[in-house]
């Protein structure tokens, strides 16, 4: 173990759960098991430090470390950066120290799209106290939620790390089963204490009480909030000044979309087109972030929705305004992100340049919005002209990526810096003049003057001319065909150039440091600027979509009715742009016909219709226009969906179990302002079981006092009889046209029930062999000929005892099928026969 390796082991012991990037000159080196991991994940060469290859070693260039960090973070690893804090002098061991810890939740790369995200949580029975922190933007929120709501919020935020008190990881896994186990990190329990956490947050955020931010005293979420911010500051060694406020996540302000609904409706993630990808006409990264959050957190306040509608309407109605606004926005940079990186001390001069470019564009954006409803957005941003002037006069036109590259500060900004730069630039001419003088003095025409990083400046003379060198030449280096020398004059020149380079670096570092102080002093104002730009970009994107698709502004009210006339699915319509989309109505009223029972063949468009209704409701409460002829919608508080089939084998759940768990969640949590979308309940089990469950679920939704609005699609067309029993239920179906060659799907919803499921016709369209189709039709005719008793309303069936089939008769069939005649004595067989005859007569008489 060399002194250097002992130093490595010392720091590795302090951060055992991290890969240690150990700075050695121009490389970050890794040793032992860290080297093996890095070699495998990064596909870099694994070498050895020693001849016996007992000490594995791998390294990455220091200047390219960010790219390698991104890949390690993506793979789920943590990295501790151990940098050199003293300059090498060739005599003593270079001092090194860990200056930054990069984790999946705290990582803020140069480019957006792979940001981290932190959540802290404490599970308390059926409630979860949560804190969400986005290191890239400084957005910091806290809330205590019921378990089902908390799952939806966690799914929407999608944190890369979740911090929990020590010993509670298993409890957290049970509460949030959809989160990958590797994302949970245990921290000391005392870090989550509410009382001490609240006091620490008040000191850290500079307020006497968190009520200044709308957080009530004693709010349980302040415990995980304090733990989360502490974790960020611990990994970044205190650098998180852009986190300057803690906001309450107002659960009553947003339409709740649970994790299942987010998945079923493919809102932001999916294998194909999503609602996000369809709406994403944003010109900035901050606009895209805002769009994602707006989709996952639709509003419930009609005034806030109306404000967004007004802004979008202004941009739809003024095409030149929208085009110019989007052109300016496309030149703006990600202000929130650049501020975050600079606050975390991982930013670069280019981040400062990004702020300057945006500040220079801001006055024109303000002027453009004047006299329109958009002016209220720009008026919320404080005056930043002073910072704009400071950055414009101080920062170079094209700042380098790294401060060490030089050229960060503009010429003419600082007199002392200009003087040293002039001296450095004149050094090249001075060096050439010195070389010409020496050639003339010695008569050696091939004499050269040069510089390298190891030996510094030198005079080089080929060996054939060594007899002509002056006495004041001092030998510095011997080459194969030449000798290199130094003179007093060249040494003075070298010292002057070295001093110039050092002074330039010192002054640039100092001046740039002052710029950073100025930037961070305006942190909150810059955040407000970033928020305004994001909001403008979001609304301009929705306006562009609305203008292109001739979308209409819906009327949003606080009532319970839902009326969409000739609505269209926003994603499918754009994905199938060449094919005209068949528009359909959606009309539901909590105090009238509030449950649509939708029947018809598979592939006819039932699922598309259901998703369309849910997506249009989300769009409306986002403040967006809608692809429809007109719409009048009462605000909903939750959208529940049970669509599609999938299993969760890792959690021991079959497809049918997943279906039943999701259905149970809906029935337990539905409210009078909920929109419930159910597709093919009971599909995962036998026909009779499935039909019974679907029937019972539908009856429950009819009879519950909560009176939700429901779209219930089913292939059990027998359920259509429920519309005769309950005035709340209305039968609609997907229209088909039958011909000699089979059926044609019309994709039109009509106000009548389907009389059958057309399953065999769908199989025919799918291309099953003709022999299979023919045999299936024979079997269907046979099955439909069997007696299947479903009592009509006029039959004398006791209330609440709707029979889908004859249970007693089925029991007899099962019992006879289970008999073993060879195992019965003649007497037992005779007794069993008489018993079966008696029971059959009872069943017949009961009919």
DSSP assigned state of 397: S
CA dist 730 and 455 (Å) reads: 91
Widest pairwise Cα distance in the chain: 137
DSSP state string for 259-319: HHHHHHTTSS--SS--HHHHH---SSHHHHHHHHHHHHS-B--HHHHHHHHHHHHHHHH-H
Residue 634 backbone phi and psi in degrees, to 5: -85, 140
Asked if 569 and 615 touch (Cβ cutoff 8 Å), the reply is yes
605 is in an annotated binding site: yes
Q: In what order do the strands lie in the sheet with 709-713?
A: 256-257, 638-642, 674-679, 709-713, 595-599, 729-739, 742-750
532 is in an annotated binding site: no
In which region does residue 126 sit, left (phi positive, over 0), alpha (psi from -120 to 50) or beta (all else)?
alpha
CA dist 682 and 655 (Å) reads: 11
Return the SS3 of 113: coil
CA dist 818 and 772 (Å) reads: 30
The Cβ of residue 827 has, within 10 Å, a number of other Cβ atoms equal to 8
Asked if 83 and 62 touch (Cβ cutoff 8 Å), the reply is no
CA dist 418 and 397 (Å) reads: 16
- In 33-78, the DSSP E strands lie at 47-48, 56-61
The Cβ of residue 549 has, within 10 Å, a number of other Cβ atoms equal to 15
CA dist 299 and 635 (Å) reads: 9
CA dist 210 and 566 (Å) reads: 49
In which region does residue 461 sit, left (phi positive, over 0), alpha (psi from -120 to 50) or beta (all else)?
beta
Q: Which residues contact 732 (CB under 8 A, 6 or more apart)?
A: 596, 597, 598, 599, 749, 750, 751, 752, 753
114 is in an annotated binding site: no
Residue 95 backbone phi and psi in degrees, to 5: -80, 140
CA dist 703 and 692 (Å) reads: 16
CA dist 159 and 821 (Å) reads: 64
363 is in an annotated binding site: no
603 is in an annotated binding site: yes
Annotated binding site for ATP: 600-607
**Known binding site: residues?**
600-607
């Amino acid at each position: 173990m060399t002194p250097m390796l002992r130093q490595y082991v010392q720091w590795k012991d302090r951060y055992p759960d991290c890969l240690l990037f150990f700075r050695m000159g121009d490389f970050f080196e890794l040793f032992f098991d860290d080297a093996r991991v890095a070699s495998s994940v990064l596909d870099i060469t694994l070498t050895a430090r020693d001849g016996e290859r007992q000490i594995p070693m791998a390294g990455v260039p220091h200047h390219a470390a960010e790219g390698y960090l991104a890949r390690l973070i993506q793979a789920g690893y943590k990295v501790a950066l151990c940098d050199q804090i003293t300059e090498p002098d060739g005599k003593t061991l270079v001092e090194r120290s860990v200056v930054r810890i990069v984790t999946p939740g705290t990582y803020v790369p140069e480019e957006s799209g792979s940001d981290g995200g932190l959540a802290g949580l404490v599970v308390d029975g059926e409630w979860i106290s949560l804190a969400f922190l986005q290191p890239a933007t400084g957005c910091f929120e806290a809330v205590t939620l019921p378990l089902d709501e908390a799952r939806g919020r966690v799914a929407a935020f999608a944190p890369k790390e979740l911090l929990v008190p020590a010993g509670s990881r298993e409890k957290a896994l049970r509460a949030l089963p959809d989160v990958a186990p590797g994302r949970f990190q245990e921290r000391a329990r005392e870090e989550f204490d509410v009382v001490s956490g609240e006091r620490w947050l008040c000191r850290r955020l500079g307020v006497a009480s968190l009520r200044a931010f709308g957080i009530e005293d004693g709010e349980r979420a302040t415990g995980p909030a304090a733990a989360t911010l502490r974790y960020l500051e611990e990994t970044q060694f205190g650098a998180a000044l852009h986190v300057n406020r803690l906001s309450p996540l107002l659960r009553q302000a947003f339409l709740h979309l649970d994790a299942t609904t987010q998945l079923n409706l493919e809102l932001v993630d999916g294998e194909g087109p999503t609602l996000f990808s369809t709406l994403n006409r944003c010109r900035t990264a901050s606009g895209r972030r805002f769009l994602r959050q707006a989709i996952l957190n639709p509003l419930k306040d009609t005034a806030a929705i109306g404000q967004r509608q007004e802004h979008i309407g202004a941009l739809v109605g003024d095409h030149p305004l929208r085009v110019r606004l989007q052109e300016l926005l496309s030149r703006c940079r990600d202000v929130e992100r650049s501020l975050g990186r600079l606050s975390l001390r991982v930013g670069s001069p280019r981040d400062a340049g990004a702020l300057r470019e945006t500040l220079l564009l801001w006055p024109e954006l303000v002027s453009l919005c004047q006299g329109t409803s958009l002016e209220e957005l720009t008026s919320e941003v404080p005056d930043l002209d002073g910072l704009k002037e400071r950055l414009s006069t101080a920062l170079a036109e094209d700042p380098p990526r790294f401060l060490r590259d030089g050229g960060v500060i503009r010429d003419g900004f600082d007199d002392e810096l200009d003087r040293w730069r002039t001296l450095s630039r004149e050094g090249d001419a001075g060096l050439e003049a010195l070389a010409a003088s020496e050639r003339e003095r010695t008569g050696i025409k091939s004499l050269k003057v040069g510089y390298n990083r190891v030996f510094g400046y030198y005079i080089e003379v080929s060996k054939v001319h060594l007899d002509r060198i002056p006495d004041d030449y001092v030998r510095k280096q011997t080459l194969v065909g030449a000798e290199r020398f130094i003179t007093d004059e060249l040494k003075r020149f070298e010292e002057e150039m070295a001093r110039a380079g050092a002074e330039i670096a010192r002054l640039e570092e100092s001046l740039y440091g002052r710029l950073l102080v100025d930037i961070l002093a305006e942190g909150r104002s810059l955040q407000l600027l970033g928020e305004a730009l994001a909001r403008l970009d979001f609304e301009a994107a929705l306006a562009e979509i609305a203008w292109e698709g001739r979308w209409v502004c819906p009327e949003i009210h606080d009532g319970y009715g839902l009326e969409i006339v000739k609505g269209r699915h926003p994603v499918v319509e754009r994905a199938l742009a060449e094919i005209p989309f068949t528009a359909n109505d959606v009309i539901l009223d909590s105090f009238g016909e509030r449950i649509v029972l939708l029947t018809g063949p598979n592939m006819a468009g039932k699922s598309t219709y259901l998703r369309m209704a849910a997506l249009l409701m989300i769009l409306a409460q986002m403040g967006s226009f809608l692809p429809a002829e007109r719409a009048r919608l009462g605000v909903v508080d939750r959208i529940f969906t049970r669509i599609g089939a999938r299993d969760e084998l890792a959690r021991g759940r079959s497809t049918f179990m997943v279906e039943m768990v999701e259905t149970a969640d809906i029935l337990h949590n539905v409210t009078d302002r909920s929109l419930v979308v159910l597709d093919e309940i009971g599909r995962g089990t036998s026909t009779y079981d499935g039909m019974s469950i679907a029937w019972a679920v539908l009856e429950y939704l009819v009879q519950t006092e909560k009176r939700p609005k429901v779209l219930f699609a089913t292939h059990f067309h027998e359920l259509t009889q429920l519309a005769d029993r309950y005035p709340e239920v209305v039968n609609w179906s997907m229209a088909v046209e039958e011909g000699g060659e089979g059926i044609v799907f019309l994709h039109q919803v009509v106000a009548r029930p389907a009389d059958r499921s057309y399953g065999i016709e769908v199989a025919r369209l799918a291309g099953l062999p003709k022999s299979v189709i023919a045999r299936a039709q024979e079997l269907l005719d046979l099955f439909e000929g069997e007696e299947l008793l479903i009592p009509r309303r006029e039959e004398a069936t006791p209330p609440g005892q709707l029979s889908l089939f004859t249970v007693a008769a089925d029991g007899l069939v099962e019992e006879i099928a289970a008999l073993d005649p060879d195992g019965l004595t003649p007497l037992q067989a005779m007794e069993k026969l008489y018993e079966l005859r008696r029971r059959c007569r009872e069943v017949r008489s009961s009919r």
